[in-house]
Amino acid sequence: MAEPTGITHHTATLNGIRQHWVSAGEGPPVYLLHGFPETWYGWRKQIPVLAERFTVIAPDLRGYGDTEKPASGYDKRTMANDVIALMDHLGHDRIALVGHDRGARVGTRFAKDHPDRVDRFVAMDNIPTRVIADTYDVTLARQGYWFFTFLGVPDLPEALIAGREETWLTHFYRSWSYDPEMLSPEEIAVYVRAYRQPGAVRGSCMDYRAAAQDVEQDRADADRLIDCPVLTIWGEDFSAVGQAYDVLDVWKGIARDVRGVPIAQCGHLCQEEKPDVVNAELLAFLADWGG
């Protein structure tokens, strides 16, 4: 699937790094934060739909895609501040925030650190970092979290993955989807090109290597719940989220006002595998967002 029509690519140096993002549409701002192993391109099935009513901003996170891949700054507080810098650059005082996977981790920290800048938050197929740390064991590792440990090993993943990016990425796309053939070879090729950029594999590894900092930040304010409305969406058939946790119950421990939507016959990449369901839920959740 090609890039959606009507998008514009942008770059600017913000919060000390060169950030890349795409934008589309007009109206109240909605920010889309991607996860691993994706880039902004993971939102290509949402952007045209949301852009009919909203200004859509989809950045590449620090270390990913066409955003800079520095040696540090992958704790979620710093990554949330990357988003704040982007908002300030674009003149957006308050946003609706949608995060998938790693993007939901950034979004969770954003909602806690900057409650006055977020009106509502969608966490898609994500269990917060602190909860994973508190429940991690051999069984959970076998259910799908082995790569948290693997990518956290200094330098070794980069050495093993170099030149094998397509094999590495395709493993996740196939095994994390209810339909293993969900992504076409052409779509996978878009991601492979992104992760073959110099420093891209290291950037994604550094995101995971920040786990100790992320857990420390999360434990420091664990008793303070997110105040804004939260929608959590997850694929029922992903072993590491929907099949491993009571997702709605987990998020009730993170936020005051939570609604949960499980998606049947869906894996981890909800927005790609079940875009019609995800788009309908996003539009309903954003219906009265007026900026």
Catalytic residues, by residue number, are 101, 208, 268
Chain centroid offset of residue 227 CA: 20
**Residue 74: what residue type?**
Y
Type and span of the H or E element at 212: helix 211-220
Give the pair of three-digit tokens for residue 39.
């880039």
Structural tokens at position 206: 């550094």
Q: What phi and psi values does residue 132 have, to the nearest 5 degrees?
A: -60, -45
CA 67 to chain centre: 15
Answer for the pair 46, 275: CB distance below 8 angstroms, yes or no: yes
The Cα–Cα gap between 39 and 191 comes to 7
Which amino acid type is present at position 58?
A
Phi, psi of 33 (to 5 degrees): -110, 120
